[in-house]
A = this chain, B = another copy of it.
Amino acid sequence: MSGPKIEFWYEFASSYSYLSVMRIEALARDAGVAVEWKPFLLGPVFLAMGWNDSPFNIYPPKGRYMWRDLARLANKYGLPFRVPSRFPRSGLLAARLALLGVEQGWVAEFSRKVMLANFAEDREIGEPEVIGAILADLGLPVDDSLAAAVTEDNKRALRRQTELAAELGMFGAPSFRVGDELFWGNDRLEDALAWALK
């Protein structure tokens, strides 16, 4: 397990994280780079910068541009996309489950389904019913998984991961780390993978 690897830090509410969640597994496999999935929450990171909402909502010109940019990029990558009727949606429950998925080996597929629900199917990923349907779709025990997501240990683990993101210098998502090298944004996924192979 000492081959090339990349840490992938993402948030289910984040529009550009959607693109990277959908792209990273195939790109990393082709490159021969292992991916460590690191779900975290942007809310506390943004609050530390003085933002109590997504900067795409706080700064309307940035927001208008982002949705157009995202539509163009989704088209370029061949990904489905629909502007969600609510933004941002809470990624809290999904992130808690994704932490379990890391331990249990289903994080990649779970993350893709949640992201598609948010950014292609306009579904309320903050709701347990929507996340439950995704868990069922993956053949996972719905009630047990939802219960395991909200244990004190698991809630603490997500808080700790979010604090760590800020300590490591992150200020947005997606972010990638290769050793101590930080890369920010879906645009840097290919550069980060290349760095892992140096």
Contacts and interface: CB of A to CB of B under 8 A. Distances in A.
A1 interface: no
A171 B49 contact: no
Interface string A30-62: 000000000000000000010000000001011
Interface residues of A, number: 21
A187 B69 CA distance: 12
A20 B170 CA distance: 25
B49 A184 contact: no
A79 interface: no
A169 B65 contact: yes
Interface in A141-198: 166, 169-171, 182-185, 187-188, 191
Contact of A182 (B59, B65, B183): B65
A49 B72 contact: no
A184 B185 CA distance: 14
19 contacts: A49-B59, A49-B61, A59-B171, A61-B166, A61-B169, A61-B171, A62-B171, A64-B169, A65-B169, A65-B171, A65-B182, A65-B184, A68-B182, A69-B183, A69-B184, A69-B188, A76-B191, A185-B187, A187-B187
